[in-house]
Amino acid sequence: MDLSQELAIGIDIGGTNTKYGLVNHRGEIVEKGDIKTDSFPTIEDFVDGLYKTLQPIMAKVGDGERIRGIGVGAPNGNYYTGTIEYAPNLHWKGIIPLAKLISEKFGLRCSLTNDANAAAVGEMMYGAARGMKDFIMITLGTGVGSGIVANGHVVYGHDGFAGELGHTIIRHGGRKHWSTKLDGSVEAYCSATGIALTAKELLANSTEPSLLRNFEEAKIDSKIVFDCAIQGDALAAEVYRFTGQLLGESLANFVMFSSPEAIILFGGVIKAGNLIMQPTKEHMEKNLLPIFQNKVRLVFSELKEADAAILGASALVWEMRD
């Protein structure tokens, strides 16, 4: 088989949608689509659904011969075992041997990792981290995820679960996380959910006029905060400043751990652009030892959000040993 003709299937499993793509060695997605994750009651139904969707596409590109394998990014995905373990955002519970199920159904090899690690690999192969051996990817979406690359390899830890930076504590005794119940974690503040909570707290604790007061409190989400902030609303801007401060302090801690060349920010929250970048950078630098200051490139992802995890998941396939 001519290598340039080979394709890898990349699959990104989220709580609501599962995206897939057929990717070539140049990182071009030649076919893509999605299915509803939560419309399949059991994992076996899901794998069947995935197969029924992908089989015609695989046939179209050359009846499976060109497909080298399948890579999957999934919440709580474990690279070592190929299992998804106790993922709070998926409706399938317990330990799910997904790589094995997919491999058996498709007759292809399958590798699996968590979604943030997959995005980091995508960024390393095709995005802002091209050529880097040491970087950290932070995904700022509904939650806060992370993928850490050191010495050119994803840090998986002894059990495959390394890189849960969103759950590190940045404020002792701070805001209790709605799901983990930990106090003061990065995710409690710097996720989209956290941003909405900060806005509600600021509104409750002041009488300052704000465009945000035009919205019913229960409806306020990070998108509304963003819309108000770009219209010049001071309170909404303060929400981002505060979020950036906590994110920056967290990043300083991460830098003193693995001294990355760059930190790449990814996910819905980065749509806020400089509203989040400026305070993040300021507070990261302020909390670093001089030896680390003005060295770490803090950048936004260069990949389309929808594509990064598919590309990263597909890249797992090229790493498979023959």
Token readout for 38 is 């939560």
Choose which of 85, 221, 282, 302 interacts with a copy of itself (CB under 8 A).
85
Choose which of 107, 291, 294, 322 interacts with a copy of itself (CB under 8 A).
291
> Could you say which residues in the range 243-262 bind a copy of itself, by CB under 8 A?
249, 252-254, 256-261
Structural contact between residues 255 and 246, judged by C-beta atoms closer than 8 angstroms: no
Enter the DSSP assignment of 23: E
Provide, rounded to whole angstroms, the least separation between the CB of residue 282 and a copy of itself: 15
- Sign of the Cα torsion 56, 103, 18, 3 reads negative
275 binds a copy of itself (CB under 8 A): no
> Could you say which residues in the range 98-157 bind a copy of itself, by CB under 8 A?
132-135, 148, 150-151, 153, 155-157
Enter the DSSP assignment of 148: E
55 binds a copy of itself (CB under 8 A): no
Nearer to a copy of itself, 182 or 211 (CB): 182
95 binds a copy of itself (CB under 8 A): no
Nearer to a copy of itself, 258 or 278 (CB): 258
Structural contact between residues 283 and 254, judged by C-beta atoms closer than 8 angstroms: no
- The two beta strands, 144-150 and 153-154, are antiparallel
190 binds a copy of itself (CB under 8 A): no
Chain position carrying tokens 């399948």? 70
Give me the phi and psi of 283, to 5 degrees please.
-80, -25
Q: In angstroms, rounded to a whole number, what is the distance separating the alpha carbons of residues 217 and 58?
A: 48
287 binds a copy of itself (CB under 8 A): yes
178 binds a copy of itself (CB under 8 A): no
Chain position carrying tokens 């950290």? 136
Nearer to a copy of itself, 9 or 284 (CB): 284
Provide, rounded to whole angstroms, the least separation between the CB of residue 86 and a copy of itself: 7
Nearer to a copy of itself, 105 or 167 (CB): 167
Residue-level length of the chain: 322
Choose which of 182, 211, 230, 306 interacts with a copy of itself (CB under 8 A).
182
- Give first-to-last CA distance, the chain, whole Å: 14
Provide, rounded to whole angstroms, the least separation between the CB of residue 153 and a copy of itself: 6
Query: Where does residue 292 rank: exposed (0-12), middle (13-18), buried (19+ CB within 10 A)?
Result: middle
294 binds a copy of itself (CB under 8 A): no
SS3 84: strand
SS3 301: coil
The count of chain residues that interact with a copy of itself, using the rule CB under 8 A, is 46
SS3 296: coil
The residues of the shown chain that bind a copy of itself, judged by CB under 8 A, are 76, 85-86, 132-135, 148, 150-151, 153, 155-165, 167-172, 180, 182, 249, 252-254, 256-261, 287, 289-292, 295
